[in-house]
Structures are given as C-alpha cells and as structure tokens.
C-alpha cells in the first residue's frame, strides 16, 4: 500500500478521495436521469482508461477499439442467451476472445512493421471487418440484433446482472476505480517504463535492449482485455446489441475522444475527459431543449464546435493544463 502511494502528490490523493466519496454517495442525491448520465460518464472513463494503456502509455494509436467492446459484448451476451451462462462466467470466454483478437491484430501489425497512421487504419479495417461479419452472423442475430431477456426491475440479481440502474452504477464505478489503480500500478512498473520508452522513441528503446515487439503486444492484449469487460457491461446494461451500433467507427471515435480531450497518457485524463464530454453533450441537450431548438443535428454541431475549440486551445488535453494551473504537476500523474 505504501509503495503504491509513494510519490503521489497528497493534494491529488485528497482530490481523488473526494471524487470517489462523491461518486459513492451520488445515488443518494441523484435522480434516475442523473444516474444514467453518471453511468455513461464512468463507462467512457473506464474505456478511455483501457484505450489509454495502448495509446497513452505505449504510443500505439488504435482507432478501432469498438472491436474489443463488441467482442466482449457479443461473446458474453450470446453465451447468456443461448446457454444461460451468467456474465461472470461469460467474461471468462469474452475476455480471452478479445485478447486473442488484440494479439492477432498486434502480431500482424508489429511483425509486418505497420506503424503510425497505417496502424491506426489497420485497426479501423479490423473493426469494420467485424461489423460487417457480425451483420451476417446468424447465431448472434446478424443485422436484426441480439436481445437479452429483460427482467422485472424489482430486485437486482448481481450474478446474472439483471436489475436496476443503481446496480450497474456501482458496478461501473468499481470497474473504473479498479482500472485507475491498475493503470497507476502499470505506469510505475518496469513494464510501464518500457512502454513509455517505446512511446517516446521506439528506435532508442530497441537500442537499449527493450524487446519492443513483446511489450507492444502486452499493451494491446491488456488494453483489449480491459476494453472487452466494458463490452460485457454494455451488453447487460443495454440488453440489445446491433453490429451497426456496437462495431461502428463512431463507437471507436467516441471512446477515444475522452482520453484525448482529457490528456493522453495521464491517469486523470480519461476520467476528466469523460466528465467534460458527456457533461457537455447532456447540458447541450438540456440547453437546446430549454431554448426550444429541436432540430436534429443541432446538438452535434455545437458539440463539434466545442471539440474543435478545446483541441485548438489545449492541444495536449485539459488535464495537463489544469494540473499546471493547480500546481499538481510536481509529480506527474
């Protein structure tokens, strides 16, 4: 425990403790609508953290992370629908499937020296491939979708994940907190330093004797595995899966907006980004509804403009800027 906290700014810890306490206490004060918004925020904070391992830590830009969400979601949901297997058992299949997929993509890309923009486009290609493939995959409902039986929302069954939003809220909060701690530990491990060396200069890292292929593979596999857990959550929370939604490129994009806006490679970035972007989207809905603008697309235009301004004003993300302003960057998180 002490080793874990070593070198962490005390004020950052206080900030974290307050945030966690507020999130734990939130359901007591929040209405159902706010709970669903918070679930969405935490979902993006979690997936952003998982993506950040690959991009922020190891410097490999993936634009196709929807494939891991989708594989996790479809594997666990199909096992539940066809064999009644609880998600906690289903994830034992879902996570390895996503990890194997990540390993295949990583192996092909890194063995054949596909890097940079080409790597990013390769990840999009695999995700699109999966989207069209699942569109024709009859066993999981193809384009017509896969539906989970919806239970009566009187009691919550944690084992089969059938229940009320509050259960999903605490589940995703636990996942996000665990991912945060895991990323913190990874970043300070030997592995984390290897990743950062590769991110900064791959040639130099190789010259120092780091097996770059191996450590990039580990980054992809861990990131894919963690992301697939979000997929399992997604399936049981939303209860319906369509390839056109789950694997669509816009899913991959919205998943990475948070960490990039928040600050790539930082631990707080994905969380802050998720709060900012989801908060922005929801408040735009509110404001536009209040003013009486009900044109479809208006919200997205404002959202796009805000995105444009944020990335132009703070290109490194909001957290590094905020940390400097709050003088929390003495010890970079």
**Site residues (CB under 8 A) for other proteins?**
55, 61, 63, 108, 112-114, 116-118, 120-122, 124-126, 128-129, 132-133, 135-136, 143, 249-250, 253, 256-257, 260-261, 264, 295-298, 300-301, 303-305, 307-308, 311-312, 315
Contacts of 108 (CB under 8 A, 6+ apart): 114, 122
Of residues 125 and 204, the one with the C-beta less far from other proteins? 125
Of residues 287 and 298, the one with the C-beta less far from other proteins? 298
The distance of closest approach from Cβ of residue 255 to other proteins in the complex, given in angstroms and rounded to an integer, is: 12
The distance of closest approach from Cβ of residue 263 to other proteins in the complex, given in angstroms and rounded to an integer, is: 11
8-state DSSP, 148: P
Of residues 55 and 232, the one with the C-beta less far from other proteins? 55
Of residues 183 and 264, the one with the C-beta less far from other proteins? 264
The distance of closest approach from Cβ of residue 273 to other proteins in the complex, given in angstroms and rounded to an integer, is: 11
The distance of closest approach from Cβ of residue 283 to other proteins in the complex, given in angstroms and rounded to an integer, is: 17
∠ CA 107-108-110, rounded to 5°: 65
The distance of closest approach from Cβ of residue 121 to other proteins in the complex, given in angstroms and rounded to an integer, is: 5
* CA neighbor of 318 nearest in space, from 266, 282, 283: 266
Q: How many Cα neighbours within 13 Å face the side chain of 71? A: 25
CA distance 79 to 235: 11
* CA neighbor of 273 nearest in space, from 176, 190, 161: 176
Contact 248, 72 (CB under 8 A): no
- Is 241 in a helix, a strand, or coil? strand
Of residues 14 and 108, the one with the C-beta less far from other proteins? 108
Of residues 22 and 308, the one with the C-beta less far from other proteins? 308
Q: At what angle do helices 116-135 and 87-111 cross, to 10 degrees?
A: 140
Assign residue 189 a region: left if phi > 0, alpha if psi is -120 to 50, beta otherwise? Answer: beta
The distance of closest approach from Cβ of residue 206 to other proteins in the complex, given in angstroms and rounded to an integer, is: 15
For 318, the token pair is 């909001």
Of residues 162 and 251, the one with the C-beta less far from other proteins? 251
End-to-end CA, the chain: 17
The distance of closest approach from Cβ of residue 193 to other proteins in the complex, given in angstroms and rounded to an integer, is: 20
């Amino acid at each position: 425990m002490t080793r874990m906290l070593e070198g962490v700014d005390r004020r950052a810890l206080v900030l974290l403790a307050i945030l966690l306490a507020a999130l734990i206490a939130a359901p007591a004060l929040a209405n159902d609508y706010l709970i669903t918004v918070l679930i969405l925020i935490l979902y993006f904070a979690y997936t952003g953290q998982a993506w950040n391992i690959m991009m922020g830590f190891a410097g490999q830009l993936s634009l196709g992370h929807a494939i891991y969400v989708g594989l996790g979601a479809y594997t666990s949901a199909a096992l539940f629908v066809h064999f009644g297997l609880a998600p906690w058992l289903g994830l034992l299949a879902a996570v390895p499937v996503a990890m194997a997929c990540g390993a295949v993509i990583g192996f092909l890309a890194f063995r054949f020296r596909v890097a940079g923009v080409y790597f990013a486009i390769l990840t999009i290609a695999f995700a699109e491939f999966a989207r069209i493939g699942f569109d024709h995959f009859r066993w999981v409902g193809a384009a017509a979708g896969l539906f989970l039986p919806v239970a009566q929302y009187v009691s919550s069954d944690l084992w089969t994940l059938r229940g009320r939003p509050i259960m999903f809220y605490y589940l995703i909060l636990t996942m996000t907190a665990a991912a945060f701690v895991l990323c913190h530990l990874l970043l300070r491990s030997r592995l984390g330093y290897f990743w950062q060396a590769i991110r900064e200069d791959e040639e130099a890292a190789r010259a120092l004797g780091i097996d770059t292929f191996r450590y990039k593979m580990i980054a992809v596999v861990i990131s894919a595995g963690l992301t697939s857990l979000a997929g399992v959550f997604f399936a049981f929370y939303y209860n319906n899966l369509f390839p056109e939604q789950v694997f669509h490129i816009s899913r991959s994009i919205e998943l990475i907006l948070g960490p990039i806006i928040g600050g790539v490679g930082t631990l707080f970035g994905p969380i802050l980004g998720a709060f900012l972007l989801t908060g922005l989207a929801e408040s735009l809905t509110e404001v536009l509804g209040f003013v009486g603008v009900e044109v479809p697309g208006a919200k997205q235009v404002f959202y796009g403009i805000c995105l444009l301004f944020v990335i132009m004003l703070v290109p490194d993300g909001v957290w590094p800027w905020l940390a400097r302003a709050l003088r929390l960057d003495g010890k970079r998180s």
